[in-house]
Amino acid sequence: MIKQKYYLIKTYGCQMNVHESEKLAGVLNLFGYIETSEQLSADIVVFNTCCIRDGAEQKLYAHIGALKSLKKNNPNLIICVCGCASQAEGRAEIIKKKFPFVDIIIGTHNLHVFQEYLESFIENKKYICDVWENEREINENYNALRTSGANAWVNISYGCNNFCSYCIVPFVRGKERSRKMEDIINEVKNLIKEGYKYITLLGQNVNSYGNDIDDKNITFAKLLEKCAKLDGNFKLKFMTSHPKDLTEDVIKTIATNDKICKVIHLPVQSGSNKILKLMNRKYTKEHYLSLIKNIRNHIPDCYISTDIIVGFPCENEEDFMETYNLIKEVQYDGVFAFMYSKRSGTVADKMEEQVSNEIKRKRVNELLKLSKSITKQKNSELIGKVINALVDSYDKEKKGYNTFTDSGKSIFVPSDKNIISIHSFHKVEVKRMINNKLIGEFLN
Ligand code: 5AD
Ligand code: SF4
């Protein structure tokens, strides 16, 4: 009898990586591997890496290092490191030196060749380290093994042209390349047919979708509209939006199509015009606030979330307070606050007046406290409201259903009976809040 082989993929970072890991899983499946969550039973471990902040990178190195003894005990174990960290300048060399037991190192630009590398390694057992300097044409030839439940991720573009001064993404993901609209729509159609209830369109900056295509009719608003007009019981999401490119067309398209979730993740990064300029974000606080006003005018119940970086070089107390006050003014539904992390090769890396870790920590904690209190207030305002939610699972111990709103907010619906089908949409009336957790009742 042939022994079953197992794979373990460790994914770091953003949704883009989560989806790329699904594509890697698709390849591993072709080789006969199935998934395990146990490191000890794995025949291959793949690290799909992130380098957006130093913390993510250091955590990754600690995790790779921890496999040394496992490899010693099981020399047949295959270890592969791929993705953003191995693509970043000089990192492949570091990984090679620090972790000589790693078998395959590849970057982001040659991830689609994973199948060939693995085939060659299995055949020859010869160490592979290949990181391409530049991006190539989009590869449409993949079979993702999807892992995100009712949600399916769909890339609409790859790479980024923005070069925000703190960000390493354009260096490791290359120039922005949009997929053809018909390829995206065909993929979305198939996913709806397969029964996915949420389709999330992915790009570093979804709003600049099509800018690299000659046909001026190819825009993000058009793409959204076309996807939203497809038949089926599904909802559309997208991320991430850049405020400099979010057009009124897009806002109106979201407002007028029931199938598009009223959810916008709109990273502001800072509330200080001085810092926004140094970050090369290409908008002002005033422009950003006018966008928020416009969104709320067209979509009054829109769920708006943001990313913030605190402690960017030259950020003083006054700049920080502008960010603090902007969060208070916008009353975000979600705030993801990060401490600025120096990334080599970026413009900000060479800026003077770096902020101390102690101040960064203090500022990030202040923002988290503020956003927690806003969330609590907003959650309490939901009591009595009726919300469309997706049933995710039945919890036998707690006796009730875990449901999620379009924005990912969880509402627990107590019930003795497990009779409602999983991954179906239902109207839920929010009844109360216990320890900041929403409790509801099905209306249908
Ligand atoms: N330091 C801290 N946070 C960063 N981000 C991007 N680069 C850095 C960095 N060097 C944050 C931004 C971005 C999110 C995905 O990560 O807020 O929106
Ligand atoms: Fe990084 Fe800015 Fe591109 Fe986002 S838009 S990926 S923050 S460079």
pLDDT tens digit string along 80-120?
Answer: 999 999 999 999 999 999 999 999 999 999 999 999 999 99
Is 175 touching ligand 2 by the criterion CB < 6 Å? no
Task: Look at residues 130, 156, 174 and tell me which one is the last residue of a structural domain.
Answer: 130
- Cα separation, 442 vs 414, in Å, equals 9
Q: Using CA atoms, how far apart are residues 145 and 141, in angstroms rounded to an integer? A: 13
The 10 Å Cβ neighbour count of residue 387 is: 21
**419 shares its domain with 323:** no
Question: Is the CB–ligand 2 distance for residue 53 below 6 Å?
Answer: no
pLDDT tens digits for range 363-403: 999 999 999 999 999 999 999 999 999 999 999 999 999 99
> Do 194 and 238 lie in a common domain?
yes
Q: State the total domains in the chain.
A: 4
* Statement to judge: residues 224 and 209 lie in one domain: yes
What CATH number does the domain containing 38 carry?
3.40.50.12160
- What's the CA-to-centroid distance between 242 and ligand 2, angstroms? 8
Mean pLDDT in residue range 302-314? 98
User: CB under 8 Å to 293, separation ≥6 — which residues?
Assistant: none
Statement to judge: residues 375 and 411 lie in one domain? no
Q: Quick one: 173 and 251 in the same domain?
A: yes
Please identify, among 101, 130, 159, the residue that sits at the C-terminal boundary of a domain. Answer: 130
Residue nearest to atom 4 of ligand 2 (CA): 204
Is the residue at 25 inside a domain?
yes
What is the C-alpha separation between 127 and 313, in angstroms, rounded? 41
> For 347-368, what is each residue's pLDDT tens digit?
999 999 999 999 999 999 999 9
Q: What percent of the chain has pLDDT over 70?
A: 100
The reply to whether 137 falls in a domain is no
Ligand 2: residue of 167, 168, 205, 265 to mutate (most ligand atoms within 8 A of CB) is: 167
The CA R_g of the chain, rounded to the nearest whole Å, is 23
Q: What is the Cα–Cα distance from 425 to 31, expressed in whole angstroms? A: 36
- Ligand 1 binding residues, C-beta < 6 A: 52-53, 166-167, 267, 269, 307, 309, 338, 340-341, 343
Looking at the fold, whether 391 and 314 belong to one and the same domain comes out as no
- Determine the distance separating the centroid of ligand 2 and the alpha carbon of 430, expressed in angstroms: 37
State whether 64 and 170 are in the same domain: no
Q: From the alpha carbon of 167, which atom of ligand 2 is closest?
A: 1
Last residue of one domain, picked from the residues 130, 164, 195: 130
DSSP letter for 109, please: T
- Which pLDDT band holds residue 291 (cuts at 50, 70, 90)? very high
C-alpha of residue 202 to centroid of ligand 2, in Å: 13
Assess contact for 336 and 408: CB atoms under 8 A: no
- Whether 268 is in a domain gets the answer no
Give me the mean pLDDT over the 418-426 stretch: 93
Encoded tokens for 374: 């806003």
Report how far ligand 2's centroid is from the alpha carbon of 391 (Å).
Answer: 34
Residues 236 and 216 in one domain: yes
Distance 404 CA to ligand 2 centre (A): 28
Examine the domain organization and report whether 123 and 12 are in the same domain.
yes
∠ at Cα 166 (208, 352), nearest 5°? 145
Q: Report the C-alpha gap between 171 and 135 in whole angstroms.
A: 10
Domain CATH code at residue 181: 3.30.750.210
122 in the same domain as 10 = yes
> How many A from CA of 208 to the centre of ligand 2?
12
Amino acid in position 147:
T
CATH number, domain with residue 406: 2.40.50.140
Is 325 part of a structural domain of the chain?
Answer: yes
Provide the CATH number for the domain around residue 337: 3.30.750.200
Minimum CA distance residue for ligand 2 atom 2: 164
Residues of the domain holding 315? 273-281+295-381
Ligand 2 contacts CB of residue 170 (under 6 A): yes
Residue 205 Cα: closest atom of ligand 2: 5
280 conformational bin, left if phi > 0, alpha if psi -120 to 50, beta if neither: left
- Identify whether 410 is part of a domain: yes
Element (H, E) at 337: strand 334-339
For residue 288, being part of any structural domain is answered with no
Question: Tokens representing 181?
Answer: 């609209």
pLDDT category of residue 44 using cuts at 50, 70 and 90: very high
| CA dist., res. 291 & res. 266, Å (int) | 10
Whole-structure pTM value: 0.95
pLDDT of 1 strictly over 80: no
69 and 121 assigned to the same domain:
yes
Specify burial of residue 153 (Cβ count, 10 A radius: 0-12, 13-18, 19+).
Answer: buried
DSSP state of 3: P
Contact call for residues 327 and 333 (beta carbons, < 8 A) = no
User: Which atom of ligand 2 is found nearest the CA of 281?
Assistant: 2
Structure-block tokens of residue 305: 């979330």
Residues 302 and 237 in one domain: no
134, 253, 334, 373 from 258: Cα distances, Å: 40, 10, 22, 30
CA–CA separation, 367 and 315 (whole Å) = 15
